């Protein structure tokens, strides 16, 4: 081998080795030593209680519990564009749960998405938000989870295609999208706003549903809170693109997040019903803080959008709009199936929301409206809560479509939806699946009194 | 005029397309088993079966019933020849005031038609939309299980003859 070529080979070798070392450093994390499960007595009761509230704010139970299954035992299928990922068992079972995880291992999972053994975790576990969770909150969450009932439930095999079934691919994802900087308070804002920002951007991970994702499944930072998709529901835009006829403010957000409904906005359904179910049981100051921060995210509506909202409300007041003539079937269905509650004048929760204020009807996509018409709203056990019958049994897809088109024309000033019937067909299939796999949507809080009565 | 098929018979009905099925059943066809409870689809007393599925007749407009087959409690059996579901409810004495029972029987019937051996949990979930203020819930549960057994047995023996519960 001649001199120059040996030099080139040497450089290539160094580059390759260096690259491999860097890749190794990014990809590989050591296992953290297993511990003897500490048992529930090892944790301070006040810390556990704080962890309970934090876990409720983090909505941990809803992904880590299957319908009819044991709390936090995992196994919930999470559909993604890349395949189905099953949630893990986060009970303190030594063999199948996190019983042998030290607090350090737990914190590393929250911060950088590794399990105790050092394997990458899929970002369906929203560690891209949990980087913001403070050490002391991680400690409380750890104390809470380690004092739950251990459940023996082995992880289910994810159903992913190549290359997504290779965990090292996650290293690349993290390199592109995971920011390790934690939340920094904004001194220009109030303590309450900062508390809200800390929770929303961190543990509550609101953007995981409400922010659209890019082709690699990461939240698009440039479109924060512009609306996203979850479980065949549309998570509404919460920024200035919100379609709410009456703009959100902190008081409305607080009431909605606390009670699950608000007369100017309607009722939390689908995955959001689970979120508000959890938020009903945490300190009201935290819910208030979230509301204050999110009101800032919604911002003052543009004059254009404000005008649109007012026009929609006005249009609904004159009940004999053009919609009634054009769509006789939709009008008849509406008169009997919907108006009896939605025009009763009874206040929520037992009366229906004024449909001109329904974000579902003004939304760019009819999915949520289709879901709600088919499945209704189940009452929360032991509480005054909204209730609506589902109409899946009494209406064909064509009839639901006629109704949806009628509602759109009558109660919004948006253009007609396209392919409504296709959406209804999909919704009928997906709702069946959703109801089978999701955790009981109407589990009452341990103490219903905790939810402040309207 | 529209044709409404109820319990195997065709009725010519003069009703607007948005008239609730419940009103037509009770006022025009004089079938009074389905009850008016809340008129909002929230209590279940008006439940009937349409093409095999339980439907709340107070929030079901006539326009939805073109070409469909409606079954009310009267269509299942008679006082002298009760259907299994009716016999089971009588044998378990599952009715107290009885106002809610016709609706509950219809939804239970629809359940048993697609699931011949429902579990307790499945029955409870299915009957969730029904309100009963008398509180005969446990008897209702037993009655549905009994009806399942009765339907399963060609010549079912009545309770008086010592069938185990």
Given a cut of 80, is residue A8 above it in pLDDT?
no
Are residue A133 and residue A248 in the same domain, yes or no? no
Task: Answer whether B50 sits within 8 Å of A394, measured CB to CB.
Answer: yes
Chain A residue closest in CA terms to B18: A332
- Using alpha carbons only, how large is chain A's radius of gyration in Å? 24
Name the most confidently modeled range: A45-54, A262-271, A441-450: A45-54
Contact present, A282 and A199 (Cβ < 8 Å): no
Q: What is the DSSP string of A331-400?
A: HHHIIIIIHHHHTS-PPTTTSPPPGGG-HHHHSSS-HHHHHHHHH-BPPPTTS----B---TTT--HHHH
Same domain for A130 and A220, yes or no, is no
- Under 8 Å between Cβ of A131 and A201: no
pLDDT tier at A11, thresholds 50, 70, 90: confident
A321 in contact with B at a CB cutoff of 8 Å? no
- Are residues A422 and A283 part of one domain? yes
Q: What is the pLDDT of residue A437?
A: 43
Query: What are the Cα distances from residue B114, in Å, to B124, B142, B148?
Result: 16, 18, 11
Residue-wise pLDDT tens digits, A103-114? 999 999 999 999
A372 Cβ under 8 Å from any chain B Cβ? no
Q: Which residues contact A58 (CB under 8 A, 6 or more apart)?
A: A141, A203, A204, A205
Is the pLDDT score of A304 beyond 90?
no
- Average predicted confidence (pLDDT) for chain B: 92
A121 contacts A109 by C-beta, under 8 angstroms: yes
Find the closest chain B residue to A335 by CA distance: B18
Helices A367-375, A420-437: axis angle to 10 degrees equals 60
A381 with A434, same domain?
yes
CATH number of domain containing A345:
1.10.760.10
Instruction: Domain B84-159: state its class.
Output: mainly alpha
Specify the length of chain B in residues: 165
Inform me whether the pLDDT recorded for A15 exceeds 80: no
Token pair recorded at residue B160: 């008086």
Cβ–Cβ gap A340/B63 under 8 Å = no
Kindly report, residue by residue over A142-169, the tens digit of the pLDDT. Answer: 999 999 999 999 999 999 988 899 988 9
Q: Which domain holds residue A293?
A: 191-441
Superfamily of domain B2-75: Beta-grasp domain (3.10.20.30)
Q: Choose one of A122, A155, A177: the last residue of a domain.
A: A177
Q: Tokens representing A319?
A: 């009940």
Using the Cβ of A339 and the Cβ atoms of chain B, whether some distance falls under 8 Å is answered with no
Residue A265 annotated as binding site: no
pTM surpassing 0.95? Answer: no
State whether B40 and A344 contact (CB < 8 Å).
Answer: yes
pLDDT value at A438 more than 70:
no
Residue pLDDT, tens place only, B32-44: 999 999 999 999 9
Backbone φ, ψ for residue B33 (5° rounding): -65, -45
Per-residue pLDDT tens digits for A17-44: 666 667 666 677 899 999 999 999 999 9
Of the candidate ranges A89-98, A252-261, A313-322, B118-127, the one whose mean pLDDT is the lowest: A313-322
Q: Pinpoint the residues of chain B covered by CATH 1.10.150.120.
A: 84-159
Does residue A216 form part of some domain? yes
The pLDDT, as a whole number, for residue A434 is 52
Where are the domain boundaries for CATH 3.10.20.30 in chain B? 2-75
Q: If you average pLDDT over residues A217-223, what whole number do you get?
A: 95
A232 and A146 share a domain?
A: no
**For chain A, how many structural domains are there in total?**
2
Whether residue A445 is predicted with pLDDT greater than 50 in this model: the reply is no
User: In angstroms, rounded to a whole number, what is the distance separating the alpha carbons of residues A32 and A311?
Assistant: 60
- Mean pLDDT in residue range B138-151: 97
Between chains, do B59 and A337 touch, taking CB under 8 Å as contact?
yes
pLDDT more than 90, % of chain A = 70
Q: Is the peptide bond before A250 cis (omega within 30 degrees of 0)?
A: no
**Of the listed ranges A59-63, A266-270, A302-306, A369-373, the one predicted with least confidence:** A302-306
| A1 within some domain | no
Domain for residue A10, yes or no?
A: no
Using one digit for the tens of pLDDT, what is the confidence trace for A413-430? 889 999 999 999 999 998
Buried/exposed code over A181-192 (b: 16+ C-beta within 10 A; e: otherwise):
eebeeeeeeeeb
A347 located within any domain: yes
Same domain assignment for residues A209 and A165: no
Q: Are residues A35 and A110 in the same domain?
A: yes
My answer on whether A159 and A212 are in the same domain is no
Using an 8 Å CB-CB cutoff, list chain B residues near A389: 41-42, 56, 59, 129
Q: Judge if A202 and A120 occupy the same domain.
A: no
Task: Flag whether residue A378 sits within 8 Å of chain B, measured between CB atoms.
Answer: yes
Alpha-carbon span A257 to A154, nearest angstrom:
34
Task: Identify which of A58, A276, A288 has the alpha carbon closest to the alpha carbon of residue A194.
Answer: A288
Residue A235 gets which letter from DSSP?
A: E
Span A377-404, average pLDDT: 92
**Percent of the residues in chain A that have a pLDDT greater than 70, as a whole number:** 89
Q: Does A235 lie in the same domain as A160?
A: no
Residues A171, A201 within the same domain = no
Q: Which of A331, A341, A394 sits opposite B55 (nearest CB)?
A: A394
């Amino acid at each position: 081998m001649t001199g120059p070529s040996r030099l080139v080979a040497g450089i290539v070798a160094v580059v390759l080795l260096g690259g491999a070392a860097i890749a190794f450093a990014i990809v590989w994390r050591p296992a953290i030593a297993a511990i003897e499960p500490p048992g529930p007595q090892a944790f301070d009761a006040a810390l556990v209680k704080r962890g309970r509230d934090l876990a409720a704010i983090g909505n941990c139970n809803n992904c880590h519990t299957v319908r009819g299954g044991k709390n936090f035992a995992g196994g919930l299928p999470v559909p993604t564009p890349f395949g189905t990922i099953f949630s893990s068992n986060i009970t303190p079972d030594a063999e199948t749960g996190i019983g042998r995880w030290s607090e350090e291992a737990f914190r590393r999972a929250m911060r950088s998405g590794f399990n105790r053994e050092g394997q990458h975790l899929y970002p369906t576990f929203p560690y891209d938000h949990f980087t913001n969770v403070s050490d002391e909150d991680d400690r409380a969450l750890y104390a809470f989870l380690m004092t739950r009932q251990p459940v023996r439930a082995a992880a289910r095999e994810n159903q992913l295609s190549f290359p997504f079934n290779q965990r090292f691919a996650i290293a690349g994802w993290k390199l592109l999208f995971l920011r390790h900087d934690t939340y920094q308070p904004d001194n220009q804002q109030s303590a309450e706003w900062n508390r809200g920002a800390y929770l929303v951007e961190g543990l509550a991970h609101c953007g995981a549903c409400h922010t659209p994702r890019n082709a690699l499944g990461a939240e698009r930072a440039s479109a924060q809170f512009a609306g996203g998709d979850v479980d065949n529901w549309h998570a509404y835009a919460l920024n200035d693109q919100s379609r709410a006829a009456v703009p959100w403010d902190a008081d409305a957000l607080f009431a909605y997040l606390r009670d699950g409904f608000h007369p100017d906005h309607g009722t939390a359904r689908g995955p959001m019903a689970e979120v508000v179910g959890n938020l009903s049981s945490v300190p009201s100051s935290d819910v208030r803080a979230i509301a204050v921060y999110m009101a800032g995210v919604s911002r003052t509506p543009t004059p254009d959008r404000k005008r649109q909202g007012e026009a929609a409300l006005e249009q609904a007041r004159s009940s004999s709009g053009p919609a009634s003539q054009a769509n006789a079937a939709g009008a008849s269905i509406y008169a009997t199936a919907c108006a009896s509650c939605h025009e009763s004048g009874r206040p929520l929760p037992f009366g229906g929301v004024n449909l001109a204020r329904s974000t579902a009807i003004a939304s760019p996509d009819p999915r949520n409206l289709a879901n709600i018409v088919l499945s209704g709203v189940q009452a929360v056990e032991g509480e005054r809560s909204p209730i609506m019958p589902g109409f899946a049994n009494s209406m064909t897809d064509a009839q639901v479509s006629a109704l949806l088109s009628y509602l759109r024309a009558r109660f919004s000033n948006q253009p007609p939806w396209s392919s409504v019937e296709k959406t209804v067909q999909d919704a009928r299939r997906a709702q069946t699946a959703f109801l089978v796999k999701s955790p009981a949507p109407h589990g009452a809080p341990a103490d219903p009194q905790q939810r402040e009565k309207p | 005029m529209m044709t409404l098929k109820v319990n195997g018979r065709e009725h010519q009905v003069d009703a607007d397309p948005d008239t609730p099925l419940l009103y037509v059943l009770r006022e025009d066809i004089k079938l009074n088993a389905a009850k008016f409870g809340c008129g909002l689809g929230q209590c279940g007393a008006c439940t009937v079966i349409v093409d095999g599925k339980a439907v709340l007749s107070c929030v079901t407009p006539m326009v939805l019933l073109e070409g469909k087959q409606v079954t009310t409690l009267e269509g299942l059996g008679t006082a002298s020849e009760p259907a299994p579901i009716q016999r089971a409810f009588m044998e378990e004495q599952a009715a107290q005031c009885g106002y809610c029972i016709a609706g509950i029987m219809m939804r239970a019937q629809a359940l048993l038609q697609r699931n011949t051996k429902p579990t307790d949990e499945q029955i409870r979930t299915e009957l969730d939309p029904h309100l009963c203020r008398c509180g005969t819930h446990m008897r209702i549960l037993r009655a549905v299980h009994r009806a399942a057994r009765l339907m399963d047995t060609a010549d079912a023996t009545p309770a008086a003859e010592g069938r185990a519960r």
